[in-house]
Amino acid sequence: MRLRHIKGAEEDIAESPYVVQEPKELKGKWHEFFGNNNPIRIEVGMGKGKFIMELAEKNPDVNYVGIERYSSVLLRGLQKRAEMEISNIYFMRIDALELEEVFAEEEVDRIYLNFSDPWPKDRHAKRRLTSDRFLPIYDKILKKDGIIEFKTDNQGLFNYSMESIPEAGWTVEAATFDLHNSWMAEGNVMTEYETKFSGEGKPICKLIASRNKDAE
Ligand code: SAM
């Protein structure tokens, strides 16, 4: 998602109390920052943040961090955030490649990847958030028993991820090509893209991955 540049977006983000302005300074100190020892769950590429804000509202005992690289998109999320009475969620405008500089080893308990950009051309495969460029980063920041939850409508990206994830040493614990008609639908929170695509009749794919237990 890349919206037309909004004038003043950077300034609004820089002044927002909901955005962590210097996230690298919090590396290893996120629990201190939240003021509790609750688990920390992040969404990489949150877009306007509907999903992660809904989760934060439903689960006050979990800390959430939404990550988005484009200011214009993040700004839309902030407008919605301002209407909510919650204290367990913050946002960051960074690229996923910087995650290792922001979180210490095993500081994160779960990673959500929702409707990540598919980058269909082979020469762009490394930009996919489930490629071997990003999986080692998740491996570092995620607790040993942490999981990645990945949803997409894009069959090509899903098939690619069903291979790239095990190749990087993870185990696909569960997967479906039709989330909304599967046992995995229980408790499902829809993202913005999910609402749009499932409304068009497209099936949604989901997988849950953990570390490769066979390798231990
Ligand atoms: N997760 C939302 C949803 O499901 O409605 C938004 C999906 S949108 C297709 C993907 C989002 O991921 C875009 O807003 C894009 O800017 C963001 N994104 C893609 N690559 C990223 C990266 N490397 N780091 C941070 N955000 C990224």
Give the pLDDT score at 161.
Answer: 98
Strands 205-211 and 142-152: antiparallel
Residue 1 within any structural domain of the chain:
no
Residue 2 located in a structural domain: no
Within a domain: 170: yes
Is 143 within the bounds of a domain?
yes
Q: How far apart are CA 49 and CA 111, in angstroms?
A: 14
Q: What is the CATH number of the domain that holds 111?
A: 3.40.50.150
Domain, as residue range, for 143? 9-215
The answer to whether residue 17 sits within a structural domain is yes
Asked, for residue 4, whether it belongs to a domain, the answer is no
Task: Tell me whether residue 155 is in a domain.
Answer: yes
User: Is residue 215 pLDDT above 80, yes or no?
Assistant: no
Task: Report the distance separating Cα 164 and Cα 118, nearest Å.
Answer: 14
Q: What is the CA(73)–ligand 1 centre distance, in A?
A: 9
Residue 133, number of CB atoms within 10 A of its CB: 16
Pair of tokens at residue 154: 């894009």
Domain count of the fold of the chain: 1
- The atom number, within ligand 1, closest to the CA of 97 reads 23
Each residue of 18-59: pLDDT tens digit? 999 999 999 999 999 999 999 999 999 999 999 999 999 999
The residue from 117, 132, 139, 214 that is catalytic is 117
Q: Which of 4, 44, 158, 188 to mutate to test the pocket of ligand 1 (most atoms within 8 A of CB)?
A: 44
- From the alpha carbon of 134, which atom of ligand 1 is closest? 23
Contacts for 11 with CB less than 8 Å, ≥ 6 apart: none
pLDDT at 1 over 90: no
Q: Is the pLDDT of residue 214 over 80?
A: no
Residue 144: pLDDT band (50, 70, 90) is: very high
Asked if residue 95 is part of any domain, the answer here is yes
Residues 6+ away with beta carbon under 8 Å from 210: 145, 146, 147, 148, 170, 171, 173
What integer pLDDT is reported at residue 213 of this predicted model? Answer: 59
Question: pLDDT for 194-203, tens place per residue?
Answer: 999 999 999 9
pTM of the entire predicted model: 0.96
